[in-house]
Amino acid sequence: MTAWPKVSAVIPAFNSERFLATALDSVMAQTRPPTEVIVVDDGSTDGTASVAAAYPGVQLLRQANAGPAAARNAGVQRATGELIAFLDADCTW
């Protein structure tokens, strides 16, 4: 039997306090959740980081605002999974 590949979910977030919990809940509700979830706070001025930090096991990276592409790249650099899955902070799976 082949083992499942490790999956890293990368979520770039900028001022996403209103939406991030819904996005994270949808990730955690998957039949097979990702091996790791990485939220990249892209210089938010709201409570985005606090929302991410409230989820056990979620890795929080903080960076100065550099845009969503830079946030995704930072998440990919941190990821250890064999597969990378992206989710915007205002979307759900």
pLDDT band at 2 (very low <50, low <70, confident <90, very high): confident
Q: At 90, list the tokens.
A: 């205002």
- The pLDDT tens digits for 7-16 are 999 999 999 9
pLDDT band at 78 (very low <50, low <70, confident <90, very high): very high
Which pLDDT score is estimated for 1? 64
